[in-house]
Chains A and B, each alone.
Chain A
Amino acid sequence: MASAKPRVKVPASAAKGEIIEIKSLISHTMESGQRKDKEGKAIPRKIINKFIVTFNGKEFFSADWAPAISANPFLSFHMRAEESGTMGFTWIDDDGSKYTAEKNLKVT
């Protein structure tokens, strides 16, 4: 889905040991599987069911999502800044598609 373009916020730099807040937002209808179309036919479920965050390749936070997560999912969480590096974000769709984003963090 081409429109599933994420927005992530990671501070550009942080002091060593500082706990930073990370915010993530992705465009997705999160079709719950509970809705019906105009003809009364059930609209099949199609959601992002998994969100994984890594730092320098190592996973440090993840989430499993059910259909009760709102459209255009938002999630904020934290990390203790220990070293400079790259944070990687991956969202996995029911249909197997993966959407990704990356941000660099400089630890001073």
Chain B
Amino acid sequence: MRKNNRKIMMAGAAVAAVFSIATIAAGEPKSGYLSAEPETQAMQDDDFSNPAMLVTDYGGDLWSTADGDSGKSCEDCHGDAADSMKGVKTRYPTYYQPWGKMINLELRINECRKDNQKAKAWKYESKEMLGMASYIGYQSRGMPMAVDIGGKATPFFTKGKEFYYERRGQLDMACSHCHEDNSGNMIRANLLTEGQINGFPTYRLKWSGVGTLHRRFKGCNDQVRAIPYERGSDEYVNLELYLAWRGRGLAVETPSVRN
């Protein structure tokens, strides 16, 4: 006998999906969570079921481990991450004076490692970076995304927005063709979502692991046979700023689970 509560749950998800299409028109952003299968949602709902929490835990271990020439841990300077890092994720990418441009959380972590901890930068997609970015993001869980696009951030925001609507690749498609015009429609076996970024780093079933937002950007560029940019590149950080603003108000879900 197959348990039939699943069908009810499925029906619930279908209603949620329809609801999301209906409200896009009204301009309110919808998290990719709403389009996920109930089993995938359940994985994210329970921290003891969410495999990304293994990576997040690892980030927590690193937080309190001394490293670099300073001989200090992140905790030695920042104290309890639950206080000092709460809300940090919601305001990144942010304008970074020393660079005269935007910086995202991953790059900010590395800046702090180099400048303050006197330690070697982590590779962008390394286990360490995924752990720390997940751990810091996790401290903002449930808080609304709220990047600042005013002042010095404005020109970078404009660049990110242009990137989003620009056609590229052999298929000559922009992000907006899939995630705005067709969100709610099927593409192959995938239900297209709005492509929101509130859950990153995310555990993707396809990756069988956790990955950064910029890894996802590369994948979405590949899909239209476009040449992807480097993770951490200015192009991707500006794009991230635009998307963070586009999804403003969405609750941070880091670390989320997606197909």
Contact = CB atoms under 8 A, between A and B. Distances in A.
A and B touch in the complex (CB under 8 A): yes
Interface of A: 3, 5, 7-9, 23, 25-27, 29, 70-72, 74, 76
A71 B209 contact: yes
Interface of B: 46, 48-49, 51, 53-55, 57-58, 61, 127, 208-209
B208 A27 contact: no
Contacts of A76: 49
B28 to A, nearest CB: 33
B43 to A, nearest CB: 8
Contacts of B51: 25, 27, 71-72, 74
Contact of B57 (A5, A29, A72, A74): A5
Given A25-B53, A74-B49, 18 more contacts: A3-B58, A5-B57, A5-B58, A7-B48, A7-B54, A23-B46, A23-B48, A25-B48, A25-B49, A25-B54, A26-B54, A27-B58, A72-B51, A72-B54, A72-B208, A72-B209, A74-B51, A76-B49
A33 B236 CA distance: 36
Which 3 A-B residue pairs are closest in the complex by CB-CB distance? Answer: A72-B51, A71-B208, A9-B48
A23 B49 contact: yes
A74 to B, nearest CB: 6
Nearest to A73: B51
Contact of A5 (B49, B54, B209): B54
Contacts of A29: 208
Nearest to A74: B49
A3 B127 CA distance: 9
B256 to A, nearest CB: 15
Nearest to A22: B48
B128 to A, nearest CB: 10
17 contacts: A3-B58, A3-B127, A5-B58, A5-B61, A7-B48, A7-B57, A8-B48, A23-B46, A25-B53, A25-B54, A26-B54, A27-B51, A27-B58, A29-B208, A70-B208, A72-B51, A74-B49
A25 B55 CA distance: 11
Contacts of B61: 5
A93 B10 CA distance: 36
Contacts of B53: 7, 25
Nearest to B127: A3
A6 to B, nearest CB: 8
B258 to A, nearest CB: 15
A5 to B, nearest CB: 7
A7 B50 CA distance: 10
